[in-house]
Homo-oligomer: A and B are copies of this chain.
Amino acid sequence: MEPTLVVFSGGQDSTTCLLQAIAERGAANVHTVTFAYGQRHKLEVELAEGLAKELGVASHKTITVDWYKDITHNALMDTDTPIAKEAGASCPNTFVDGRNALFLLTAAIYAKGLGIHDLTIGVSEADYSGYPDCREAFVKSMEQTLRLAMDWPFRILAPLQHLTKEQEWALADKLGRLDFVRTRTLTCYEGIPGDGCGKCPACRLRAAGLEAYLRGKGAR
């Protein structure tokens, strides 16, 4: 079984990816990497480390990117900026320029050192907030760029690419891990694990998907 390195934040998306990778490959073939890049909540990084260990991954690494906050600005890293989507903007001000590219590139450099080809990331372009680096076109282009940059046959796996939040909850349920994802992960912009604050855009998207899934399941 080929090993994979999962870009893991401890949120709903990457946790679902991690659980799926473990189900498919066994925890001994799954490695995780978490980025501390100045996001609002340091708790996110600690929570990710804790979940990775609890799930028994082969290795977990936290990489601190100190310079991010110094060269770009957004509401996710600047705690005095209210989260909003300005009129005419293509995506909310929580967009961190280049974030998924940086995660994938850094993960790829690290993976090559471990002899790993596969990178797993929880991006989705269904239900996404307009973030350009969640689109399949970006992921495909990034894969090609990584191969060329390092002469290494990387594969980027984005199993949630075309799943809505509702379908993502269905996947967690199919893996027998709906409650785990619901109660143990952190998606909320206010830094509250589980069901979160219930009010921020991330909580609303997550809750709407869960409700739709549970409603549909009840009806069946």
A residues adjacent to B (C-beta < 8 A): 61, 63-68, 70-73, 90, 97-98, 100-102, 105-106, 108-110, 112-113, 132-133, 135, 137-138, 141-142, 144-146, 148-151
Contacts and interface: CB of A to CB of B under 8 A. Distances in A.
Given A138-B145, A148-B135, A63 B67 contact: yes
A180 to B, nearest CB: 29
This chain: how many copies in the complex?
2
Binding site of A, secondary structure by majority: helix, strand, loop or mixed?
A: helix
10 closest Cβ pairs, A-B complex: A138-B148, A98-B109, A71-B110, A101-B149, A132-B151, A141-B145, A145-B145, A133-B149, A63-B67, A72-B113
A73 B109 contact: no
A142 to B, nearest CB: 5
A73 B90 CA distance: 40
26 contacts: A64-B67, A65-B67, A67-B106, A71-B106, A71-B109, A72-B110, A72-B113, A73-B113, A97-B149, A97-B150, A98-B108, A98-B109, A98-B149, A98-B150, A101-B146, A101-B149, A102-B105, A105-B105, A132-B149, A133-B148, A133-B149, A133-B150, A135-B148, A141-B148, A142-B149, A144-B145
